[in-house]
Amino acid sequence: MPSLKCRCDNRIDFGQIPNPNEWLLVSDVAYDKYDGIVNSEDLYSEFEHALRCPNCQRLWVFWNGFSEEPTCYEAQPKKDQCTSNNKTRRVYIGYSTTLNGREMIQYFDIDPLHDDRLSKFEQNFGSPYIQPGSFEVYGKETYGNDFNAAYVKDLFPFDLEEIILSKISFDEARCVFFVETESVDIKSAKDATLLGPIDVEKYNFE
């Protein structure tokens, strides 16, 4: 039976008919073309197909049919949930001596060549899914001569002890970053090294 592996590691089956995990979408413009008695097959041809993960509720929409990669949509918490959520965040500080800032950002992006569309970071460090906005990268190419421990410390959106940054050679590092994730399997991979973790109560902008 065909299936799709969600970012939460759950497998979504979509071979069953009818399929409890599949939803059909149609635009208002496409639907408005039909009036009176409608041929169900003609109307079905207008639908886009979406799979809803029963585990994490992510939506995977096949905008261009099943022959192309779907787009993943993730529900955002309600405003009151955001403001009342006081959960401590687990953060790792990282650096790379081989990747610059732009390349490190791509390191966190989906790898289209990977069967499960995991990012290079998720593949190499064995971390759970890294959500957009849960990391920041500071590249030497952006800050030039200001790229040092004292300057970079002030870029982080949370208080960071200097002893952590003292473990990074800023002469050799091409970028420094932080990433919010509950766990990693290893702390050193080919293109990056992690320090920590540290627990952060909140970011400075919250």
Rg (CA), the chain: 22
Query: What value does the mean pLDDT take over residues 168-185?
Result: 96
Query: What value does the mean pLDDT take over residues 172-198?
Result: 95
Question: Which residues, 6+ apart, have CB-to-CB distance to 139 below 8 Å?
Answer: 100, 101, 102, 104, 174, 175
Contact in structure between 94 and 178 (CB atoms under 8 Å): yes
Average pLDDT of every residue of the chain: 88
Query: What value does the mean pLDDT take over residues 184-205?
Result: 92
Nearest in space to 105 (alpha carbons), one of 192, 168, 188: 192
Output helix, strand, coil percentages for the chain, rounded to the nearest 5. Answer: 20, 25, 55
User: What's the pLDDT at 38?
Assistant: 83
pTM of the predicted structure, to 2 decimals: 0.60
Nearest in space to 180 (alpha carbons), one of 140, 136, 123: 136
Question: Which residues, 6+ apart, have CB-to-CB distance to 59 below 8 Å?
Answer: 23, 50, 51, 52, 53, 72, 73, 74
> Is residue 86 over pLDDT 60?
no
DSSP letter assigned to residue 69: P
Q: What is the rounded distance in angstroms from the CA atom of residue 183 to the CA atom of residue 170? A: 25
β strands within the chain, DSSP E: 3-5, 11-13, 22-25, 48-52, 59-62, 71-73, 89-96, 135-139, 175-180, 193-200
User: What's the pLDDT at 68?
Assistant: 86
Domain ranges of the chain: 3-73, 84-200
Which residues, listed in sequence order, are joined to residue 5 by a DSSP beta bridge? 11
Of the pLDDT bands very low, low, confident and very high (cuts 50, 70, 90), residue 1 is low
Q: For 123-141, what is each residue's pLDDT tens digit? A: 999 999 998 889 999 999 9
